[in-house]
Amino acid sequence: MENQFFREEEEKRLGEIVRTALSVEPSVPSRSSCPDPEVIRALAFNVEMDAATIKKITLHIAECYDCSMLTDKYVQEYRKQQQDES
């Protein structure tokens, strides 16, 4: 019960990431500056990190098709894990 608010915030945040990711145009790859997949995973798994890093990665995901796909994959992994734990 008391986790309800947090869960809603969490869903909202992940939704933002996925929505941003899915609006990406595949025609603009920027592989050279891709962050470490572990960092993308950490973002999707809601690991605590500084706001500047989150902003930088989110902006990159918004313009990188590969990373947006990766984010989507990790977010789904995270959700599955949450379901398995509960």
Residues found near Zn ion in the complex (CB under 5 A)? 34, 64, 67
Instruction: Give the nearer residue to Zn ion in terms of CB position, either 44 or 67.
Output: 67
Of 8 and 16, nearer to Zn ion (C-beta) is 16
Cβ 18 to Zn ion shortest distance, Å: 16
Q: CB 21 → Zn ion: shortest distance, Å?
A: 11
Give me the long-range contacts of 29-38 (CB less than 8 A, separation at least 24): 29/64, 29/65, 29/66, 30/60, 30/63, 30/64, 31/64, 31/66, 33/60, 34/60, 34/64, 34/66, 34/67, 35/60, 35/67, 37/70
Nearer to Zn ion among residue 39 and residue 67 (C-beta) = 67
